Amino acid sequence: MAHRWGMAVDLDRCTGCEACVTACRAENNIPTVGPDQAAAGRAMHWIRVERYWEGDFPDARLTFRPVLCQQCDAAPCEPVCPTYASHHTEEGLNAQVYNRCIGTRYCANACPYNVRFFNFFNPQWDRPLQLQLNPDVSVREVGVMEKCTFCVQRINAAEIQATADEKPQKDGDLKTACAQSCPATALVFGDLNDPESAVSRLSRSPRGSQLLGDLGTQPKITYLARQSQT
C-alpha cells in the first residue's frame, strides 16, 4: 500500500524550544544569511515556531505554533508553478525540484502559510563549515525557491532500505529531523494510510484541526489544540 506521509503537531506539548528549527537547518543544508540579509527579510526557516501574544499584563498569555510546509493535498503552490518545480508526488508530498525552478516566486505568493523561502543570493558557508553539509540534500543556488520537504531524503532512504530488507517499515522508525529532535515529542510523523500509526491516531483526536483548513488546501498536518487549566 502506498504511503501517505503526514504529521501531527501537539500544541499542548510544544514548548517553543525551537530544537526543531535548528535540527531542520542541520539536516537540510539551510544556509544562514547573516545579520544584514536577515534584517532585509531573507532569513530562511523551513520550520518556524510562531508565537502569539494575547491580552496584556498581568493577564498576558503567549502561545507557540510550529509552522512548516503543510504538504497540502490541494496545494496552491503547485498549479501556479510554470515549470513543475513545485509539484505533487505519488505519495502526496509537495516536492520542490530545485533544478527546475526559475525563480518566479509565484508559488511563495500562492502559499497561504508563507513557508516557502527564496535564495536571494548564492548560499555561503565560511570554510570549513561546509564540511557539515548533508550529502543527501542538494544545496540550492541563487534564484531558486526552497521549503520543507518532509525530509524526503530520509523517506527515500527508509523506503529503499525497506525494499532491500524485504520487510515493511515499522511506524516510528522513520522520523523527520524536526520530529526526531523534538524533546517534548510534540511532532509526530508517520504514514496516514496506516490507520494504526501514531500520527493517524493523533490526527483523529477531537483536539485536532488543520491550519487555515477552511481555505481548502487539505493540509496533511493536524494541529492538536493546547488545553488550559484556567
Partner 1 sequence: MDRRIFLKVTAVTGTSATLASCGNPEHAIIRFIPEEEHVPGVAEWKPSLCPLCQAGCGVIVRVMEGDAEVVRNGQAGVMRMGLAKKLEGNPAHPISQGKLCGRGQAAIQIAYHPDRITQPLKRTGPRGQGQFQPVTWDAAIAELVAQLDGLVTSNNQRGLAFLKGGGRGQRDDLVSQFLDRFGAPPAVSFDLFNYDVLRRANLLSFGREQLPTFDLARSGYVVSFGADFLGTWNSPVAQHAGYGQMRQGRRGVRGAFVQVEPRMSQTGANADEWVPARPGTEGVLALGLAHVLLSARLRPADAAGRAGALIDGWNAGLTGYTPADVEKQTGVAAARIERMARALVEQPPGVAMIGGAPLAQTNGLFAALAVNALNALLGNVGQPGGVSFMPQIPATVTPRRSSPPERRTLQAVTAAILAADPSPVQVLLVDSTNPVFASPSGWRTREALLKVPFIASFGSFIDETSVLSDLILPDHAFLESWVEGRPESGAAVPVATLAPPALRPLHQTRATPDVLLQVASRLNKPLDFPWQTFDEMLMAAFATLPAPSADTDAWTAAQQQGGWWGAADAAGQTRPGGPAAQAEPAGRTTQAGGTNQGGRPDAAPVRALEAQFDGEPAAYPFHFLPYASHAFLDGSLAHLPWLQELPDAMTTAMWSSWAEINPQTASKLGIAEGDVLEITSTQGSLRTPALLSPGIAPDVIAMPVGQGHETFTRYASGRGQNPIKILASAAEPETGALAWAATRVRVTRIGPPNGDLILFAGEMREHPHEHEHER
Partner 2 sequence: MSDADRRLTDDLLRPLLTTSARFWVLVAFLGAIVATGLGTWVYQMYWGFGLTGVRWPIFWAFYVTNFVFWIGISHAGTLISAILRLVNARWRRPVTRCAEAITVFALMIGAMFPIIHLGRPWLFFWLIPYPNQRGIWPNFRSPLVWDFFAITAYLTGSVLFLFLPMIPDLALVRDRTTGWRHRCYGVVSLGWRGTTKQWNRLETAMEIMAIAILPVAVSVHTIVSFDFSMAPVPGWHSTIFGPYFVAGAIFSGIAALIIAMALLRTFLHLEEYLHPVHFQNLGKLLLMMSLLWAYFVFAERLTVWYGNETAEMAVFRATQSGAFAPLYWTMVVCNFVIPFPILALKKTRTIAGCVVASSCVLVGMWLERFLIIVPSLGHKYLPYSWGTYRPRPVEIIITISTFAAMSLLYVLFAKLVPIISVWELKVGAHPAHAAESVEARDDEQALFVARTEP
Ligand X SMILES: Nc1nc2c(c(=O)[nH]1)N[C@H]1C(S)=C(S)[C@@H](COP(=O)(O)OP(=O)(O)OC[C@H]3O[C@@H](n4cnc5c(=O)[nH]c(N)nc54)[C@H](O)[C@@H]3O)O[C@H]1N2
- 1's grid cell: 500500500
Residue 160 binds: one of partner 1, ligand SF4, ligand X, none (C-beta under 5 to 8 A by kind): none
In the region spanning residues 137 to 166, those forming contacts with ligand SF4, defined by CB under 6 A, are 145, 147-151
Residues 170-189 as x/- pattern, contact with ligand SF4 by CB under 6 A: ------xxx---x-x-xx--
Rounded to whole angstroms, how far apart are CA atoms 154 and 228? 35
Positive/negative CA dihedral, 157, 160, 164, 167: positive
176 binds, among partner 2, partner 1, ligand SF4, none (CB under 5 to 8 A by kind): ligand SF4
- Told to check if 24 binds ligand SF4 by CB under 6 A, we report yes
For residue 198, state whether it binds partner 2 (rule: CB under 8 A): no
Considering only 103-111, 121-129, 162-170, 202-210, which stretch makes contact with ligand SF4 by CB under 6 A? 103-111
Task: Using the CB atoms, write b or e for 187-208: b if 16+ within 10 Å.
Answer: bbbbbbebeebbbbebbeeeee
Residue 9 CB partners (closer than 8 Å, separation 6+): 65, 66, 186, 187, 188, 221, 222, 223, 224
Note whether 99 binds ligand X by CB under 6 A. yes
Q: Is 27 in the site for partner 1 (CB under 8 A)?
A: yes
Between CA 67 and CA 113 the distance in angstroms is 8
Helices (H), the chain: 19-27, 34-39, 106-110, 152-165, 177-181, 198-203
- Among residues 52 and 166, whose Cβ is nearest to ligand SF4? 52
Task: Give the interface with ligand X as residue ranges (CB under 6 A).
Answer: 99-100, 138
Task: Give the interface with partner 1 as residue ranges (CB under 8 A).
Answer: 10, 12-13, 15-19, 21-23, 25-27, 32-35, 38-39, 43, 45, 48-58, 60-64, 124, 126-135, 177, 180-186, 224, 227-230
Task: Give the interface with partner 2 as residue ranges (CB under 8 A).
Answer: 37, 40-43, 48, 50-52, 67, 76, 79-84, 100-106, 108-110, 112-114, 117-122, 141-145, 212, 215, 217
